[in-house]
Chains A and B, each alone.
Chain A
Amino acid sequence: MTIVDPKAVRPDQADLDKAAGRPEDADQWTAKIRNTAVEALPPQKLLPDRQPAYVASWIYVFGVTTIAALMVVIGTGFILAIFGPNWWHVSSTGLFVNSLHLWSVEIFMFAMVVHLWGKFFMAAWRGKRKITWITGVVSFLVSVGAAFTGYLSQQNFDSQWISTQAKDGINSTGAGAIFNVTNFGQMIMWHIVLLPLCIVAIVGIHVLMVRLRGVVTPLPAKGETPGEDPGEDPAATGAIGTEVQA
């Protein structure tokens, strides 16, 4: 009988070093992608344990709250999807899960709107952060669409009324030919497949951009004259956690 040491099945660091990062493999696409990714977002930049001293306001909480609420939205939506669209109409447990889904959406949208306006008033697009801002706005728009199709997928009076009213706006733009809000099958597929995928993808890009560029610095203080030292921002170079003295 052979006794297997569970720890022995894990490759040790020496073996990993043999399997990746060899100079002769540097031209591989895989190696180039890995090297580019690690160079752009080294671990200490991807998951920093320190932030600039100015990152000290309740407004910063709403970004992470938005993501936390999104996870609850997806989790409760996942449960609703497991049992199908009729379940919550006929089951008290299903109705409760639907309630969790509804309120998590309300909190998600609230946190996202506060986060959006907070970033607006911080002019958070400054310093190569335009893409961060745009992906934030796009994720808000896609979220509005996801919530809207959720209301259309309820199969109750509310979805009947909203769909028959909203059709006029959609149809007036010509989009009604493709996006038929009175087609339950189409709306629920948008709600549980297409738009969640878009949200997760765009929010993912948004978060990576935040990590890549760092948290925007405050607008200049009174008497502060910017432009005298174009040195690299430590937050943008991965030198986070070091204390920089003048």
Chain B
Amino acid sequence: MSAHSDTTKVRKFKVDRDAVTWHGRYEPYDLAKEFLIALLVVVILVAGLAVLFGSPDEKPVTVRSWSTADAVGFAQTAITELDGTSPTATYGPPYNLNGTAQSIGPLQPAKWLGVHHPIDTANDYVLGPLATLPDNPQVQAALQEYKSASPSQQATWNAAYEKAVANATFNDGKLVVPAGDYGPVATLIAEETSMARSGALDGALLSSRQFYGTDYTKPLLFIANGQYLADLAGNQHLAGDQWGMMNETGQYPGQAWLWLYTLWYQVPPMKTSSNADLQVFSIMIILTILLALVPFIPGLRSVPRWTRIYRLIWRNHYREVEGSGGPAGGGGSSGSQDSSGGPPLQAEDGTRTPVSV
């Protein structure tokens, strides 16, 4: 190895990617002790917070609790599932092909992998569960009549009922809808509401696949299609325009680290955009990549030097070095360490660094 080889390539020391080499003094630093103290402090802090504040556990909404608390709202949602106008029915991938996927320019990523969790709202939420009531001849007759009717006839009944149910009431345990020609739809929705209030619909939505189910996609989307869940969430300051994604029920801190993700939903154009989710996700993906690649990005990697917060962090070091006119401990920092494993360095004043190759 030659310290002054003619073949040496030299580049300038770049202050935002290269580190000076430390030749100063070393102080005792007991990492194991520091870790144990940190662990003890965290345990005490965690235990104290758990004793003082506990943790929230708001009971989940069930189809039964929803239809019991808001039978009319449930019926209004159920008819939209039957006539295919609910948010889930018109969602698109990954649930069905009925909706328009969110897009940025020509890109519609939701379509790339297609339908993976198929949901046919009419059959999965209304007709299928009602068919599990074989001992109810009235329901079976209504199902038979509805299924044997033409699509246009079904649409006519559905449209009439959806309009009427907006003015429905719920009295003495029965759904009361203004008189009209709804065919079997009035029976279907009334029985669906009764089934929901009994709790049977919760089971029917879950048991459609297997005995040991852990996939709550269908009942969750059904419940989310109604206004009831959103109203409860609004009361708990969890709605989207309340920075809901980072909040928690009650006064708990929640996922505060999602603040930036949530922020984008509060500002135009995402605030009112029909493609807001894809836009926000795209922004966050770009920002995340930028964060991970800061060391490679000129300008961005200079921000720490410009803000000079490092002077605060290492204030003792700078006080010692700049106050004494020399590096700490007589040795201090000098030389350079290349961050890229690239060629040896040259100081910005033009001084060339002889190095070995």
List residues of chain A with CB under 8 Å of any chain B CB: 47-57, 59, 61, 64-65, 67-69, 71-72, 88-89, 95-96, 98-104, 106-107, 109, 113, 118, 120-123, 125-130, 133-134, 137-138, 141, 144, 147-148, 151, 154-166, 168-169, 171-174, 176-178, 180, 182-186, 188, 216-236, 240-246
Q: Which of B76-84, B129-137, B161-169, B290-298 contacts A (4 or more CB under 8 A)?
A: B290-298
List residues of chain B with CB under 8 Å of any chain A CB: 12-13, 15-32, 34-35, 38-39, 41-43, 45-47, 49-50, 53-61, 91, 93-94, 101-102, 109-117, 214-217, 220-221, 223-224, 229, 232-233, 236, 238, 240, 244-245, 248-249, 252-253, 255-258, 275, 277-278, 280-281, 288, 291-296, 301, 303-305, 307, 309-310, 313-314, 316-318, 320-322, 326-341, 344-349, 351, 353, 355
- In the assembled complex, which residues on chain B have CB atoms less than 8 Å from the CB atom of A59? 313
What is the distance, in angstroms, from A239's C-beta to the closest C-beta of chain B? Answer: 9
Q: Which of B55, B94, B277, B294 contacts A133 (CB 8 A)?
A: B294
- In the assembled complex, which residues on chain A have CB atoms less than 8 Å from the CB atom of B341? 128
Q: What are 29 A-B contacts with C-beta separation under 8 Å?
A: A52-B24, A53-B320, A54-B22, A57-B314, A68-B41, A96-B50, A103-B45, A121-B307, A125-B295, A128-B338, A133-B295, A134-B295, A172-B110, A172-B278, A176-B93, A183-B215, A217-B333, A218-B314, A219-B305, A221-B322, A221-B333, A227-B336, A227-B347, A229-B21, A229-B336, A229-B353, A230-B335, A230-B353, A244-B25
Given that A50-B27, A122-B310, A125-B17 are contacting pairs, would A235 and B22 also be in contact in the complex, using a CB cutoff of 8 Å? Answer: yes
CA distance A184 to B220 in the complex (A): 10
Q: Which of A51, A169, A217, A233 contacts B27 (CB 8 A)?
A: A51
CA distance A96 to B54 in the complex (A): 7
A106 in contact with B253 (CB, 8 Å)? yes
B335 in contact with A95 (CB, 8 Å)? no
CA distance A64 to B334 in the complex (A): 28
What is the distance, in angstroms, from A53's C-beta to the closest C-beta of chain B? Answer: 5
CA distance A54 to B23 in the complex (A): 11
- In the assembled complex, which residues on chain B have CB atoms less than 8 Å from the CB atom of A188? 214
What is the distance, in angstroms, from B354's C-beta to the closest C-beta of chain A? Answer: 8
CA distance A229 to B19 in the complex (A): 12
- In the assembled complex, which residues on chain B have CB atoms less than 8 Å from the CB atom of A48? 29, 31
B294 in contact with A158 (CB, 8 Å)? no
CA distance A157 to B341 in the complex (A): 52
CA distance A242 to B329 in the complex (A): 12
What is the distance, in angstroms, from B150's C-beta to the closest C-beta of chain A? Answer: 33
CA distance A171 to B87 in the complex (A): 14
A68 in contact with B35 (CB, 8 Å)? yes
A53 in contact with B255 (CB, 8 Å)? no
A61 in contact with B38 (CB, 8 Å)? yes
A182 in contact with B42 (CB, 8 Å)? no
A89 in contact with B57 (CB, 8 Å)? yes
B238 in contact with A161 (CB, 8 Å)? yes
CA distance A103 to B249 in the complex (A): 15
